[in-house]
């Protein structure tokens, strides 16, 4: 047996079960990194060893050294932050892992002479993998056999041109089949293949590209700049008052610094994202990049592919229109030969196969031109003549071709506006296309298509034989989903490779109105950017044009989402801000997409938008609360330094204030539905609210403290405690009003969220047992009335500052309107 014969036999039989087991035992198995991204210890480490935990940990040890256990209660935040963060991340990791298994590519492997789907982890060295159009290459290898095989390696090289592959050529994971079929032998598995790095990047719990997280990081930088100098000056100033009483000094310092740390902000942010993943996971929505949740909430343009996204991927044969006078049965038998000669049928060919059963004897195929998204047509050359009658059917108008025998028949099948560019048979196919039906033109030619397997092949002269009409079903949830986006101010653009008239008909059925479709074949390259900005519906869009359209919209300042399910959508999906693929789409589309709708329900997208808005809107509320606490704490410490008085609060005071006015309410406010549309300027808006709110709260507490101290010529330890209690009351009252502001619009549960902490505070301030535990003394009625007045004064100041801010913002908007011509 020759070497080539041996390779053919090996490609047909693959490895035996015994050989697979031997290779797996020898460690030649495709071991992939964890789908959830982080390992167990990595999750624990990233949640325990954080900057905030480190700061709180140092302050906790300082307080513990004084022996005041009650003042060290804030140390519980370290445990709470770590446990909640880790638990939610474990839950999100488990959800991602389970969804990734559902959506993972399962290559077809030849073993014991049979083709069977195989999990990627079960592949071994020397396995034979079958390649079909749209298949993702998951491990590196060498081509054994190729039938007009063309690969798209754009994910590896960035080049969109298809690469023809022949037996002996190398094939790399991360590429996918653009056209044709073939088989290849696995040469690299696990960490040695490119796919390992691709898998490690997918389904990872990461906030690296999150605008929200970037805003929070910038806020934390500001806090760090404030924390260090204020902390240093606090130490210097308090040391002057407390002298050798190092325990009181430590408590004063920690009482000033602990509330400056936004201990729950990062925790609640990561928790909100993790809960978003879990909620969407229940709807069979795989979020492969976490920022996609918030990204879709920021989108202002959705580019939707028609086939497989707005319409169902399944097709059904509807009608055949014969061109000319020839027997229908004879034509049906020829169509059957044509569709059953395709080794890798797509959805269109599969629908035709259901209508035209497999012939008892298949004709021998001499050559083939495989279908690709650029040319929109395919062809098959049958090598045997079907009698003299058939040879006479070749049109006499076709030019003679030197060296081509009449002992072959060439059939072409493709888009009618491509094969019938002159419009000779328009009356046969245009009415059906105008109704949104899928239309194909069957033609016959005297030309030979041998080796015509690459995109850009010249179209041979042909004689039209018949028009084949197929029905494509519009997804029942497509119209409602598009309507949702329109109501939210998101523009819809339908971008399809199908006939422009057909695309426009589908758009009309989806409620997009009587909008004309743009045929992109008629556009000059420099016209595309302007047309995509001005129009909504596009037909005959080539894959590279889809990518150009997405880039043009992004260049114009839009945030673009792209939906698709086919190989022809991959380039655009890769470049879109948010890419969405259907679960039953090609594996290549699922790999590059940031969001995969595993149950193929287009109606899931509004839930993704809602989840993004929940995260963005609620985290903005939460950030306002935490930043207000940081501002009033830093400002209060600064005022105390300049006033030259002891710091009024101990760590336990700021702990109970932080927990019941900020922490617990913030955690609850991060959970409910929030339909507020995402807007840019997160950091600016948070600081614009937090600074005046912090000024109001700090002023209420500080001036209450100074006021009650002024009532006494000498401050005993008991009077100092009473003054601190009054100042704390003023702080709590004004800080609660900040919560009232942030919680708007009010609902019953929000009212309870505000009232319950106030009830808790009233118990703490009036019960002698709790007063003793928390170092409070509310027996001085004069001081407490000052605290009440100070709190009300803080509320008035807060409302005044908010009113000034609104007037200022309104004036700025009016100035901007006037400046716009």
Q: Which residues carry out catalysis? A: 305
Identify the burial level of 237 via C-beta atoms within 10 angstroms of its C-beta, where 0-12 means exposed, 13-18 middle and 19 or more buried. buried
Q: Is 336 within 8 Å of 594 (Cβ atoms)?
A: no
Task: Decide if 573 contacts 562 (C-beta within 8 A).
Answer: yes
User: By the 8 A CB rule, do 133 and 177 touch?
Assistant: yes
Q: Where are the alpha helices (DSSP H) in 243-327?
A: 246-257, 265-282, 291-298
| Cα–Cα distance measured from residue 82 to residue 57, given in angstroms and rounded to the nearest whole number | 12
| H or E segment to which residue 632 belongs | helix 605-643
**Token pair 């902000």 is at which residue?**
265
Report the alpha-carbon distance of residue 126 to residue 24 in Å, rounded: 11
Structural contact between residues 237 and 257, judged by C-beta atoms closer than 8 angstroms: no
Sheet holding 560-564, edge to edge: 285-287, 595-597, 578-582, 560-564, 301-304, 491-495, 537-539, 518-519
Contacts of 590 (CB under 8 A, 6+ apart): 103, 105, 136, 581, 583, 596
How far apart CA 542 and CA 555 sit, in angstroms, is 20
Alpha carbon 588 to its chain centroid, in Å, reads 16
Q: What is the dihedral of CA 426, 431, 436, 441, to 10 degrees?
A: -40
Cα distance between residue 523 and residue 555, in whole Å: 19
Residues 6+ apart with CB under 8 A from 20: 111, 124, 127
- DSSP labels for 264-276? THHHHHHHHHHHH
Q: 163's torsion region: left (phi>0), alpha (psi -120 to 50) or beta?
A: beta
């Amino acid at each position: 047996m020759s070497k080539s014969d041996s390779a053919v036999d090996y490609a047909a039989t693959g490895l035996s079960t015994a050989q697979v087991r031997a290779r797996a035992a020898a460690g030649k198995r495709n071991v992939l990194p964890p789908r959830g991204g982080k390992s167990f210890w990595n999750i624990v480490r990233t949640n325990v060893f954080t900057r905030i935990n480190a700061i709180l940990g140092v302050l906790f040890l300082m307080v513990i050294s004084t022996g005041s256990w009650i003042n060290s209660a804030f140390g519980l935040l370290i445990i709470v932050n770590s446990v909640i963060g880790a638990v939610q991340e474990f839950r999100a990791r488990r959800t991602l892992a389970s969804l990734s298994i559902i959506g993972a590519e399962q290559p077809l492997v030849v073993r014991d002479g049979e083709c069977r789907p195989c999990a990627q982890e079960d592949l071994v060295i020397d396995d034979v993998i079958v390649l079909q159009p749209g298949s993702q290459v998951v491990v590196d290898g060498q081509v054994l056999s190729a039938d007009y095989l063309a690969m798209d390696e754009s994910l590896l090289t960035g080049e969109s041109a298809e690469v023809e592959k022949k037996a002996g050529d190398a094939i790399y994971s991360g590429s996918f089949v653009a056209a044709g079929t073939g088989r290849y032998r696995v040469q690299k598995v696990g960490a040695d293949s490119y796919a390992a790095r691709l898998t490690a990047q997918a389904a990872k719990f990461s906030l690296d590209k999150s605008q929200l997280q970037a805003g929070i990081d910038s806020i934390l930088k500001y806090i760090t700049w404030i924390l260090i100098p204020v902390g240093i000056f606090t130490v210097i100033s308090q040391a002057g008052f407390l002298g050798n009483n190092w325990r009181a000094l430590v408590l004063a310092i920690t009482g000033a610094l602990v509330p400056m740390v936004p201990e729950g902000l990062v925790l609640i942010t990561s928790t909100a994202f993790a809960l978003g993943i879990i909620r969407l996971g229940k709807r069979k929505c795989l979020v492969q990049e976490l920022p996609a949740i918030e990204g879709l909430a920021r989108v202002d343009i959705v580019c939707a592919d028609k086939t497989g996204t707005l319409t169902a991927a399944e097709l059904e044969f509807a009608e055949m229109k014969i061109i000319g006078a020839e027997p229908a049965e004879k034509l049906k038998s020829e169509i059957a030969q044509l569709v059953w000669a395709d080794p890798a049928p797509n959805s269109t060919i599969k629908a035709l196969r259901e209508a035209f059963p497999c012939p008892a004897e298949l004709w021998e195929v001499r050559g083939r031109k495989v279908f690709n998204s650029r040319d929109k047509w395919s062809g098959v050359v049958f090598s045997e003549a079907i009698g003299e009658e058939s040879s006479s059917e070749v049109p006499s108008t076709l030019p003679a071709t030197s060296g081509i025998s009449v002992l072959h028949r060439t059939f072409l099948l493709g888009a009618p506006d491509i094969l019938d560019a002159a419009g000779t048979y328009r009356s046969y196919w245009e009415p059906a296309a105008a109704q949104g039906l899928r239309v194909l033109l069957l033609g016959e030619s005297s030309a030979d298509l041998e080796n015509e397997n690459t995109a850009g092949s010249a179209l041979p002269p042909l004689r039209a034989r018949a028009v084949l009409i197929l029905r494509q079903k519009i997804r029942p949830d497509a119209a409602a989903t598009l309507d949702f986006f329109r109501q939210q101010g998101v523009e819809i653009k339908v971008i399809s490779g199908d006939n422009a008239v057909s695309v426009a008909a589908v758009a009309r059925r989806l409620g997009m109105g009587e909008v004309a479709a743009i045929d992109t074949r008629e556009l000059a390259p420099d016209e595309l950017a302007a047309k995509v900005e001005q129009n909504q519906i596009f037909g005959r869009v080539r894959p590279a044009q889809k990518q150009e359209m997405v880039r043009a919209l992004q260049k114009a300042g839009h945030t673009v989402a792209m939906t698709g399910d086919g190989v022809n959508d991959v380039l655009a999906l890769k470049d879109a801000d948010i890419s969405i693929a259907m679960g039953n789409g090609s594996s290549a589309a699922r790999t590059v997409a940031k969001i995969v709708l595993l149950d193929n329900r287009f109606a899931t997208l509004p839930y993704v938008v809602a989840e993004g808005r929940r995260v963005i809107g609620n985290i903005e509320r939460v950030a306002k609360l935490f930043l207000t606490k940081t501002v009033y704490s830093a400002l209060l410490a600064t005022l105390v330094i300049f006033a030259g008085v002891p710091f009024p609060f101990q760590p336990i005071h700021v702990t109970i204030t932080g927990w019941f006015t900020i922490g617990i309410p913030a955690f609850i406010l991060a959970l409910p539905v929030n339909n507020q549309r995402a807007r840019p300027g997160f950091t600016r808006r948070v600081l614009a609210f937090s600074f005046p709110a912090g000024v109001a709260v700090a002023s209420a507490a500080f001036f209450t403290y100074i006021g009650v101290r002024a009532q006494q010529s000498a401050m005993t330890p008991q009077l100092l405690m009473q003054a601190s209690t009054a100042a704390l009351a003023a702080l709590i009252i004004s800080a609660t009003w900040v919560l009232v502001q942030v919680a708007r619009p009010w609902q019953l549960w929000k009212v309870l969220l505000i009232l319950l902490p106030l009830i808790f505070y009233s118990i703490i301030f009036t019960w002698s047992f709790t007063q003793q535990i928390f170092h409070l003394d509310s027996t001085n009625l004069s001081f407490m009335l000052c605290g009440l007045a100070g709190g009300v004064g803080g509320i008035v100041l807060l409302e005044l500052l908010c009113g000034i801010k609104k007037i200022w913002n309104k004036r700025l908007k009016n100035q901007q309107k006037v400046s716009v011509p």
